């Protein structure tokens, strides 16, 4: 993968203890989880709509959430049906 397009999500996503959002990965400085962002995008929200509704978020936060999810693919390989 091109380093030009590689965002280090580690700078924007925190794993918190169980006190904050039950330990889910959140965007730094917000109570918004990666799963919140992925859910909004999956429901059809545009980047512009999300950023308008949540002014504490930036474009880089949305990209970090996607990168975080992408990086999980290597941790949970899918089993193929035979």
Please, which pLDDT band fits residue 37 given cuts at 50, 70 and 90? very high
Contact 27, 65 (CB under 8 A): yes
Whole-angstrom CA distances from 73 to 19, 53, 67 are: 26, 29, 10
* pLDDT single digits (tens) 2-25: 455 555 666 666 656 566 667 788
Q: Give the pTM.
A: 0.75
* pLDDT single digits (tens) 53-73: 999 999 999 998 998 888 887
């Amino acid at each position: 993968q091109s380093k030009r397009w590689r965002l280090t999500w580690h700078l924007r996503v925190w794993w918190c203890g169980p006190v904050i959002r039950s330990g889910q990965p959140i965007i730094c400085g917000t109570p918004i989880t990666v799963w919140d962002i992925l859910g909004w995008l999956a429901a059809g929200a545009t980047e512009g709509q999300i950023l308008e509704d949540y002014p504490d978020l930036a474009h880089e936060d949305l990209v970090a959430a996607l990168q975080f999810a992408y990086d999980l693919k290597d941790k949970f390989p899918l089993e193929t049906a035979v």
